[in-house]
């Protein structure tokens, strides 16, 4: 299947402002591109691409004073298959984990394993190891947190989401990631596109989405505590320890969001690819 995806984001900058952008699709998805994947800037400015420590594609820019609009519009091929289901995937003893996976067992800015460890063990100690335990965590988080855009705030952590019992997709993800790490299951935060493909359209504007991956059976598997069912058409942009590592923009100075739109739509057979 083919998916058209992209964004248009505008910032008002009171002065020239250095910025880091994490707005490209992940390197693992580049082979599926069917049109150029080029981030455009209005006014035109230069951008330097680099890979961060997690392998994500990032760009460094200096936004000029005034309105800066950042946009992209591309077509990508997707298998059309739902998230993989592997109920026999096993949990690894910590001593058998690869070195580069160990960081995803540690606490991080939004994932306070120290504050939630006792709670995690009280809730999930009797759940089956491996896939079953991660699914039990997703079930719990999905049922505990009420979704609503009005509940979003950039400083909310997994502990806050657990106590307040409300949030957006990043809060579901932070809490599930934290519980996994507390139960000795490596988990990493993911961000990307997830359109209403194969499900009824949501009655809200399109946005980027957050989910997570758990390391089981020698590889990473996708889980989604907010939706808590297998979805079609995820397009990964970046992964890291938590939302800090994959923020779509990091601004080193004042920046007021003035425009924000995301598109993620399946291109139906015979439809114009405009």
pLDDT in tens, 17-56: 999 999 999 999 999 999 999 999 999 999 999 999 999 9
Do 73 and 169 sit in the same domain of this protein?
no
268 band by pLDDT with thresholds 50, 70 and 90:
confident
Return phi, psi of residue 148, to 5°. -175, 130
In a domain, 180, yes or no: yes
Do 98 and 36 sit in the same domain of this protein?
no
In a domain, 125, yes or no: yes
Look at residue 201 and tell me whether its pLDDT is greater than 90: no
Domain that holds residue 40: 2-77+248-267
Secondary structure letter of residue 74 according to DSSP: E
Span 45-92, pLDDT tens digits: 999 999 999 999 999 999 999 999 999 999 999 999 999 999 999 999
In a domain, 88, yes or no: no
Number of domains in the chain: 2
Span 110-168, pLDDT tens digits: 999 999 999 999 999 999 999 999 999 999 999 999 999 999 999 999 999 999 999 99
Task: Give the C-alpha separation, 78 to 192, whole Å.
Answer: 14
- Note whether 236 and 190 are within 8 A (CB): yes
Please report the pLDDT score of residue 203 as a whole number.
80
**Nearest-10 Cα torsion for 110, 228, 153, 174:** 0
Do 102 and 184 sit in the same domain of this protein?
yes
pTM of the model: 0.95
Do 99 and 231 sit in the same domain of this protein?
yes
Where do we find the tokens 């920046």?
255
In a domain, 30, yes or no: yes
């Amino acid at each position: 299947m083919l998916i058209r995806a992209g964004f248009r984001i505008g910032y008002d900058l009171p002065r020239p402002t250095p910025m880091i952008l994490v707005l490209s699709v992940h390197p693992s998805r580049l082979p599926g591109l069917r049109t150029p994947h080029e981030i455009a800037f209005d006014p035109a400015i230069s951008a330097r691409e680099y890979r961060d420590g997690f392998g994500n594609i990032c760009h460094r820019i200096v936004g000029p004073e005034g309105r800066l609009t950042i946009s992209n519009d591309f077509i990508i091929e997707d298998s059309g298959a739902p998230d993989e289901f592997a109920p026999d995937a096993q949990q690894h003893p910590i001593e058998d984990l690869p070195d580069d996976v160990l960081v995803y067992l540690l606490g991080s800015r939004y994932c306070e394993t120290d504050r939630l460890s006792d709670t995690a063990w009280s809730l999930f100690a009797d759940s089956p190891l491996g896939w079953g335990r991660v699914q039990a965590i997703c079930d719990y988080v999905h049922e505990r947190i009420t979704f609503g855009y009005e509940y979003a705030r950039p400083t909310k952590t997994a502990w806050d989401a657990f106590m307040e019992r409300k949030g957006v997709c990043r809060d579901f993800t932070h809490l599930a990631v934290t519980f996994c790490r507390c139960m000795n299951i490596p988990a990493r935060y993911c961000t990307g596109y997830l359109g209403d493909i194969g499900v009824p359209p949501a009655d809200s504007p399109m946005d980027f989405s957050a989910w997570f991956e758990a390391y089981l059976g020698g590889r990473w598997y996708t889980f989604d505590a907010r939706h808590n069912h297998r979805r079609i058409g995820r397009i990964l942009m970046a992964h890291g320890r938590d939302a800090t590592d994959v923020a779509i923009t990091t601004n080193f100075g004042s920046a007021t969001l003035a425009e924000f739109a995301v598109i993620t739509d399946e291109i139906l057979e015979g439809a114009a690819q405009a």
